[in-house]
Amino acid sequence: MEKKRIVSGMRPTGKLHLGNLHGALENWIALQNKGDYDCYYFVAGWHALTSEYSATDRIRENTIAMVIDWLSTGLDPVKSTMFIQSSIKEHAELYVLLSMITPLGWLERNPTYKEMKAELADKDLGTFGFLGYPVLQAADIIMYKAYGVPVGVDQLPHVEITREIAKRFNFLYREIFPLPEPLLTDVPKLLGIDGRKMSKSYENSIYISDWGDALKKKVAAMFTDPQRMRKTDKGRPHLCNVFTFHQIYSSSDDVSEISAACKRADIGCTDCKERLTVRILEGMQPIHDRQDYYRHHLGKVREIMEDGNNRAAKIARITMAEVREAVKI
């Protein structure tokens, strides 16, 4: 029997931070390694254009850098299909057809749309493409008749609109598309060094590429339990972002020890952070080594992208033949 398909994408907006890694990407890798699913992961260049249309200089290099990050953190091109959205023109064709049947109200009411518009207030996002973002995303997902979409909670409204669009297509033309389920991760939420959501636009992120002194400085600057002003104050590790990081990067024995020591004020935040820096450096070393390897073997990266594109295109062609029949176009 064919395995159920999983589809997800990321916009190539620059280097990945640890929030991206432990949020989305590790979920992708876990689903890949489970072996129960056929996984399709793509670089969503057209989605990047919806907000970055006036600054496109870096999209190509960001695309390759993103694939390198995926390979370096554990996506395996044999188990997963990695491809480039803009190489599979069928996505654009399906997007056009879906745009005909998507009521404007669904897009205007989309909470992610309103939020992003507010967050990126310095950009003019009053464009057709930006409003249509979820329609393009729906095309990406249903093209592969996906069973599941691994995403963060911020993407839930988009998966919901995808389901609505798929339902409407099935109703108007023919029952072609299954309704995709969102697959959420339950990793502990890593915050930025200032205690807000880790986000590139807040300049509070720790990046996979942060190294040596740069990393040390960022960890040293991290907010901790706000009530722990002096070293003699007892701490509350469950309210401390540094502790959340320890839960990811340190052994469980160390985590228990740090938790107990913090609560008794036996360890100070400076020491606690120094220990964390060491652990992050250890954890990142193999990723850095692989990044280094792929950066020096770009031909290999291109081959992997080509192969993924071919695999994705095969399915996209079959789906679109079916869709054209159904729409009678």
Q: Which residues bind ligand SF4 (CB under 6 A)?
A: 224-225, 228, 235, 237, 240, 242-243, 262, 267, 269, 272-273
Among the listed residues 5, 17, 22, 47, the single contact to ligand TRP using CB under 6 A: 47
Q: Is 51 among the residues that bind ligand TRP (CB under 6 A)?
A: no
- With CB atoms as reference, the residue minimizing the distance to ligand TRP is 9
User: Does residue 7 belong to the site contacting ligand TRP (CB under 6 A)?
Assistant: yes
Interface with ligand TRP in residues 144-163 (CB under 6 A) = 149, 151, 155, 158
Nearer to ligand SF4, 26 or 257 (CB): 257
Establish if 91 lies at the interface with ligand TRP (CB under 6 A): no
Smallest gap from Cβ 151 to ligand TRP, in A, equals 5
* Nearest residue (CB) to ligand TRP, 151 versus 166: 151
Judged by CB, which is closer to ligand TRP: 250, or 309? 309
Which phi-psi region, left, alpha or beta, contains residue 328 (left: φ > 0; alpha: ψ -120 to 50)? left
Task: Write down the least CB distance from residue 236 to ligand TRP, Å.
Answer: 32
Q: Give least dist CB 253 to ligand SF4, A.
A: 15
Q: How far is the CB of 212 from ligand SF4 (least distance, A)?
A: 21
Binding residues for ligand TRP (CB under 6 A): 7-11, 44, 47, 137, 140-141, 149, 151, 155, 158
